[in-house]
């Protein structure tokens, strides 16, 4: 269940892979944007974009709490790269929290309210200028988070195929 110096426990792996799946789902929104029109992504996945985003916010906060509770027993990073590993993971966590928050700001700024899986959490109201301004960061943050995710994947594959260490195996 818990993490150890040899690898990540089932809870850490569950958070990692569930959020990988959900963030991948969210990133399919790029396809809807790029095509500038409705197609299968827009019709089947995008209607859940806000709900999945709010779920990801809750999971990111829970995951961060779990990571802090496990920090003293997790695998130790190579001292030569430990700063970069911590910085990269810190930026990923920041992105996983800021993306849903700015998404909520898009909804509030536009006066739409926030409905999650059919439950209205915040009712529709007048547009809020400051929320709209913060919400304008949502799209640039999506591109930044995508770049961080690609870097994360690249480094995992680099460790697995080039360095031939157990970094990837510890999370798989």
The DSSP string of 16-48 is: HHHHHHHHHHHHTHHHHHHHTS-SHIIIIIGGG
Domain boundaries defined on the chain: 10-171
Q: Which CATH number fits domain 10-171: 1.20.950.20, 3.40.50.720, 3.10.105.10, 1.10.150.530?
A: 1.20.950.20
Helices (H), 46-137: 49-70, 82-109, 129-135
Q: Which of 25, 27, 13 is nearest to 145 (CA)?
A: 27
CA distances (Å), origin 69, targets 11, 14, 58, 62: 12, 16, 17, 11
pTM of the complete model:
0.92
Mean pLDDT per 10-residue segment, the chain (172 residues)? 94 97 90 66 81 98 97 91 95 98 97 96 97 97 97 96 92 89
């Amino acid at each position: 269940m818990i993490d150890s110096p040899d690898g990540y426990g089932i809870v850490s792996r569950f958070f990692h892979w569930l959020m990988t799946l959900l963030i991948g789902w969210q990133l399919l929104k790029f396809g809807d944007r790029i095509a500038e029109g409705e197609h299968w992504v827009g019709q089947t996945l995008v209607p859940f974009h806000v709900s999945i985003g709010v779920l990801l916010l809750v999971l990111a906060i829970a995951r961060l709490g779990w990571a802090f509770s496990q920090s003293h027993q997790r695998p130790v990073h190579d001292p030569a790269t430990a700063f970069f590993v911590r910085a990269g993971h810190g930026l990923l966590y920041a992105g996983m929290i800021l993306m849903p928050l700015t998404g909520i700001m898009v909804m509030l700024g536009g006066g739409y309210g926030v409905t999650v899986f059919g439950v209205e959490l915040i009712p529709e109201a007048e547009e809020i200028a400051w929320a709209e301004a913060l919400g304008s960061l949502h799209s640039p943050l999506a591109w930044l988070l995508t770049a961080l995710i690609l870097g994360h994947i690249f480094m995992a594959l680099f460790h697995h195929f080039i360095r031939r260490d157990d970094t990837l195996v510890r999370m798989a």
